[in-house]
A and B are shown apart, each in its own frame.
Chain A
Amino acid sequence: MSGGEPLIRWDWIGSHAGYLAGLAGRHLYLSLIPVVFGLIVSVPLGIACTRWRWVYPPVLTSANVLYSIPSLALFLLFIPYTGLFSDLTLIIPLTLYTLSVLVPNVVDGLRQVSAPVSQAATAMGFGRLRQLLQVELPIAVPVVIAGVRIATVSSISLVSVGQLIGNGGLGVLFTDGQQRIFPTEVIVGIALTVVLAFAADAVLVTVQRLLTPWARTGRAAA
């Protein structure tokens, strides 16, 4: 770093607001799509794991093994399949990573339903499907959303590594800042990533409150 360069040049941030917003938008897209895909896969998979218990151990082991593969290496291994600069090279590995958090949380959530509750539902004439949709899934919501929150925050922080294979997002600020030896850009990139993660987390907390109104009244009564 050259002696005259300040740690942060505030005027640079002001003059690049539009550029930064564009990068943040692309960053959000690249990190949230995998969470959505992960949820689409995990909910049916989690339901299958609770219906047929023998499915769960192999699914869990595979998800954990996948999760232990370093992100950069996994992105690189997908290049031969999906190509360099393709969004899929980033989205597929990130989706696989979310499974290791989402599947166990869906299973734990569904297993939380106590025997008296499911007996009551059966007594009220609920069939299997209706019991799943109107009793088990709603009860599982808080645990599932707890998993979604972890998956979202890690996904947002991991996406910048994708810039090394040319995927854009806020990671651009890191590679560009490195080449120009420009700390402002790097610090802004880190700050915006953390802001995005916290904002997404706050939105998910609100979603959970809206989806589980009974939790609030329960707490108020207690």
Chain B
Amino acid sequence: MNALFNQIQSAWQWLSAAAHWQGPDGIPTRLLEHLEYSAFALFFAILVALPLGLFVGHSGRGGFIVASLANSLRALPTLGLVVLAAVLSTGDPTVPVLIPVALLAVAPILVNTYEGIRQVDPDLRDAAAGMGMNPWQVLLRAEIPVALPLILLGLRTAAIQVVATATVAAYAGLGGLGRYAIDGLAVSDYPQVVGGAVIVVLLAVVVQLLFVALRRLVLSPGLRNSHDRS
């Protein structure tokens, strides 16, 4: 127990040392890098997964393919994909390594968007069409608002996953917060390893809270308390 206390104390010392809060290897720089990579990967994951999920959910075509695709994506090992990207690339590995990071975030967005739209009450869909809405209006004004809790859940899962995968991708040469873990392990600097891990955990918690706030902000009042598993 004493050893544990020493570890916590030395990690705290690492975190609070002024030298670790400046320069190209400083915490603010690494944090900014990490946020930049995560935003980039999440953007491309959304670009692919959201329209695809909306289309499949709305048309009801290809549901089985989406479910199997998402399952296969879940089975892929993060570390293997980022290393493969780095090994196959020549020069700066940053962009190649971010491709699998984005790819792995596709599954949660795709599945939740598809499930959200699919679960919309058919009566509601009929009512919207009966009010004279065209298929686009049915999607935008009836289906998406009702499916929003699940769509947001998918986005939140994807965002947290991207933060985590980007950390692992430091092994394949990516910058960001994962550097502390990888570089610290390489030289057995455990205060740095544990200190870096603490920052990653804090970032994941902040991302989680941001999505809880976003949900409060954009969700129609009539839908609150439904789907409430967050």
Please report A residues at the B interface, Cβ cutoff 8 Å: 1, 60, 64-65, 68-74, 76-77, 79-81, 104, 150, 153-154, 156-158, 160-161, 163-165, 170-171, 173-175, 177-178, 181-183, 186-187, 189-190, 193-194, 197-198, 201
Q: Report B178 CB to chain A, min CB distance, Å.
A: 7
5 further A-B pairs in the complex, CB-CB below 8 A; given A72-B164, A79-B193, A153-B75: A1-B88, A72-B168, A80-B190, A160-B80, A161-B77
Q: Mark B197-214, 1 if CB is under 8 A from A, else 0.
A: 110110011001000000
Contact A70/B77 with A164-B168, A165-B185 known, Cβ cut-off 8 Å? no
Contact A174/B201 with A153-B71, A164-B171, A189-B77 known, Cβ cut-off 8 Å? no
Candidates A60, A80, A157, A183; contact of B4 at CB < 8 Å = A80
Are A193 and B77 in touch, CB under 8 angstroms? yes
Question: Is B230 at the interface (CB under 8 A from chain A)?
Answer: yes
Contacts of A81 in B (CB 8 A): 4
Are A157 and B74 in touch, CB under 8 angstroms? yes
Q: Report A66 CB to chain B, min CB distance, Å.
A: 11
A170 to B160 alpha-carbon distance, docked (Å) = 25
A163 nearest in chain B by CB position? B79
A104 to B204 alpha-carbon distance, docked (Å) = 22
Q: How many A-B residue pairs have CB under 8 A?
A: 140
Are B81 and A177 in touch, CB under 8 angstroms? no
Are A77 and B201 in touch, CB under 8 angstroms? yes
Q: Can you list 10 pairs linking A and B with CB atoms under 8 Å apart? A: A1-B90, A60-B229, A71-B168, A72-B197, A73-B196, A73-B197, A80-B194, A170-B77, A193-B75, A193-B80
Q: Report A6 CB to chain B, min CB distance, Å.
A: 12
B162 nearest in chain A by CB position? A70
A114 to B197 alpha-carbon distance, docked (Å) = 46
Contacts of B197 in A (CB 8 A): 72-74, 76-77
Number of interface residues of B (CB under 8 A): 45
Contacts of B8 in A (CB 8 A): 80
Interface centre among A71, A157, A173, A201 (most CB of B within 10 A): A157
Are B204 and A69 in touch, CB under 8 angstroms? yes
Q: Which of B65-105 contact A (CB under 8 A)?
A: 71-72, 74-81, 83-84, 86-90
Question: Is B163 at the interface (CB under 8 A from chain A)?
Answer: yes
B104 nearest in chain A by CB position? A157
Are A178 and B167 in touch, CB under 8 angstroms? no
Q: Which of B148-180 contact A (CB under 8 A)?
A: 160, 163-164, 167-168, 171-172, 178
Question: Is B42 at the interface (CB under 8 A from chain A)?
Answer: no
Are A164 and B84 in touch, CB under 8 angstroms? no
Contacts of A150 in B (CB 8 A): 74
Please report B residues at the A interface, Cβ cutoff 8 Å: 3-4, 7-8, 71-72, 74-81, 83-84, 86-90, 160, 163-164, 167-168, 171-172, 178, 181-182, 185, 190, 193-194, 196-198, 200-201, 204-205, 208, 229-230
Are A194 and B201 in touch, CB under 8 angstroms? no
Are A178 and B172 in touch, CB under 8 angstroms? yes
Candidates A65, A160, A177, A178; contact of B78 at CB < 8 Å = A160
A116 to B46 alpha-carbon distance, docked (Å) = 45
Are B79 and A70 in touch, CB under 8 angstroms? no
Contacts of B83 in A (CB 8 A): 174-175, 177-178, 186
Contacts of B78 in A (CB 8 A): 157-158, 160-161
Are B201 and A73 in touch, CB under 8 angstroms? yes
Q: Report A143 CB to chain B, min CB distance, Å.
A: 15
Q: Report A30 CB to chain B, min CB distance, Å.
A: 13
Contacts of A80 in B (CB 8 A): 3-4, 7-8, 190, 194
Are A194 and B79 in touch, CB under 8 angstroms? no
Are B75 and A76 in touch, CB under 8 angstroms? no
Contacts of A64 in B (CB 8 A): 229-230
Contacts of B75 in A (CB 8 A): 153, 156-157, 193-194, 197-198
Q: Report A168 CB to chain B, min CB distance, Å.
A: 13
Interface centre among A104, A161, A170 (most CB of B within 10 A): A161
Contacts of A70 in B (CB 8 A): 160, 163-164, 167-168, 200-201, 204
